[in-house]
Amino acid sequence: MDYREIYKLEDVEKDILTAISAITDPVVQTLSPRGGNVMYNDGGQITVSNDGISIAKEVLPENELQRAIVRTIRESALRTNFEAGDGTTTSILLSSILLREGLKLRRDGKNPMELVRIFREAGEKLVTRIKEMAKVAEDDKEILNIARISANNDDVIAQKTLQTIKVAGLDGMVFLEPNNKKEDEIIEDIGFIIKQGMFRPELKNGQGFTANYAKIPVFITDKRLYHKEEAESILRAVFDGGYNEVVIVARDFIGESVNYFLANHAGGKFKILLIKEPNATDTNYERLEDLSDYLDCKVITDKSGSIVGKLTINDFSIADKVFADGQKTIIFKEKNTANPRLSMKLSALKTEQKKDKENEVIKERIASLTNGMVTIKVGASTGIELRERIFRFEDAINASRAAMRHGYLSGGGVALLNAYHAEDFPEEYRTMFKKFCEASVRQIAKNCGKDSDYVIETIMGLQEDLEDKSIGYDAMSGDFVSMEKSGIIDPYQVLQMSIENSVSAACNILSVNYFIIDKDKDKVCQHK
């Protein structure tokens, strides 16, 4: 029989603190190159890792209420990882500070909704401050430094991350696969990127919601395909040309054509991938023209009239490979195929870019024509080492891309420390936010076996004496250095999301007066 238990927050404060420690303690001790590892059983395989997101997912207290608290903290931290590609550990660390200090303030009689307001205002102020400090990562050295830090100072992974990003760019696909050798291998494919995935998930043919094809006809049109007869004509031309698969890139798919395509795909006679070009309009279909230049074929335009009964396989191009998921599509032509049209298009776009360096549309068009997909076959001696190296590759690639998109900071912990000293906080909350902003530097010092008070005092003293706000503690060498000059830099977005999501987790829990726990179904209802 299902039943629920009701708890007042003040009656279960000990459980809440236990839950905070359960998820925080194993995760935060991994912070910095001198942080420790955690061993856990991952689906029957023993894994040793210092990857915060992987460790956080394994924490599962027996107590139902504790599990609810852990889940709330973890889900906020996972949002950081999802959006910024890294930062789970920092999010959890910052959440724990706000929660522990917030519980003390509630115990002292502070109104929970007032705490929520104060926390959110402080988070917004800190994000504004660190945004002012951020610089855009543009050259190879900066990207390499970001990758190295995120890969736990693994130079090999950092170098291969840089190589990968130079091929795949910001939007290309990167796949990590186990290698049957000890060495890593990088397989590069340059392709055309469309920032739109499968038109309908039913069109998948690969693992999960993906579609993978090789040597497949591609039809490009600026039409809105509506009529069944239009769809019929396309598939007839494909069949007459000796194929039973097709990729159709169009302005839109509506009406009868959609059902006709879906029915043929589901029936198995044809395999069809529909891609809607998101930028096409009545007067502008330059992205479709870019694709036609890339594949050295033509765009079938609305101006040319009806396609019913008029198409042949000569109106299609043959792509070497096509990959699509829910977010993007990459189309590959054969390697080393001469294509003067593509060379001329790229030359023209780059000339335009020199005249208008801030034009984001031109940048995106060049990227679409020159980026692609990289498969990294990760080598290792053992299964445990393999999984740990894959985690490092993921972190390095995600962090590097985040820094290229949104900028970087000279040491995330130092940036937050400096943000505290540049901002004013209400006197009664100053101690709490001081702990919050010092947390990363203190935890790194602790993981390195150093006195955290000494490290903080030395950093602030040297910053003042040397007039260099980037002075911080280098966990690898044990020295106090200019973080920027030493290449110890972190993506701005990682710290931004860590601040915002830790505030979110703390506000969600501290705003609660009652917990209602469904003992059998492990559900939590919150009453305020």
State pLDDT tens for residues 82-105. 787 788 999 999 999 999 999 999
Nearest CA to 60 out of 116, 113, 19, 108 is that of: 19
* Cα–Cα separations (whole angstroms), residue 495 to 85, 101, 127: 11, 20, 8
Cα dihedral: 405, 411, 412, 414 (round 10): -140
Of the candidate ranges 392-401, 414-423, 432-441, the one whose mean pLDDT is the lowest? 392-401
What pLDDT is recorded for position 528?
A: 43
Of the candidate ranges 16-20, 169-173, 396-400, the one whose mean pLDDT is the lowest? 169-173
Residues 248 and 218: their CA atoms lie apart, in Å, by 6
Would you say residue 1 has pLDDT above 70?
no
Would you say residue 66 has pLDDT above 90?
yes
Instruction: Check residue 135 and report its DSSP letter.
Output: B
Tell me: the pLDDT tens digits for 185-233?
Answer: 998 777 888 888 999 989 988 677 889 999 999 999 999 999 999 999 9
This prediction has a pTM of 0.68
What pLDDT is recorded for position 523?
A: 45
DSSP-H helix ranges across 151-190:
155-168
Domain ranges of the chain: 4-135+409-527, 140-188+374-406, 193-370
Interval 489-501 mean pLDDT: 93
Order of strands, sheet of 514-518, starting from the edge strand that comes earlier in the sequence: 4-8, 514-518, 523-527
Assign 411 to helix, strand or coil.
Answer: coil
Q: Which two tokens stand for residue 260?
A: 């006709």
Name the one residue in this structure whose structure tokens are 């096409």.
280
Name the one residue in this structure whose structure tokens are 């003040």.
10
CA 428 to chain centre: 37
Cβ contact 221:300 at 8 Å: yes
CA angle 256, 260, 265 (to 5 degrees): 150
CATH superfamily of 4-135+409-527: GroEL-like equatorial domain (1.10.560.10)
Q: Tell me which fold the domain 140-188+374-406 belongs to.
A: GROEL; domain 2 (3.30.260)
Long-range (24+ apart) CB contacts under 8 A made by 296-300 are 296/333, 296/337, 296/339, 296/341, 296/342, 297/218, 297/220, 298/220, 299/220, 299/221, 299/222, 300/219, 300/220, 300/221, 300/222, 300/223
Would you say residue 37 has pLDDT above 60?
yes
Domain covering 193-370 in this structure, CATH number: 3.50.7.10
Could you tell me which residues come within 8 angstroms of residue 381 by beta carbon, excluding any fewer than 6 positions away? 182
Residues 256, 261, 264, 269: is their CA dihedral positive or negative?
positive
Interval 122-130 mean pLDDT: 96
DSSP-H helix ranges across 108-255:
112-133, 140-150, 155-168, 228-240
Instruction: Check residue 11 and report its DSSP letter.
Output: G
DSSP secondary structure letters along 264-287: HHHHTS-EEEEEE-TT--SS--HH
Interval 111-124 mean pLDDT: 96
Tell me the average pLDDT of the chain.
89
Residues 27 and 387: their CA atoms lie apart, in Å, by 17
Would you say residue 52 has pLDDT above 90?
no
DSSP-H helix ranges across 423-491:
430-447, 452-466
Crossing angle (nearest 10°) for helices 256-267 and 228-240: 40
What pLDDT is recorded for position 231?
A: 95
CA distance from start to end of the chain: 27
What pLDDT is recorded for position 177?
A: 87
Would you say residue 481 has pLDDT above 80?
yes
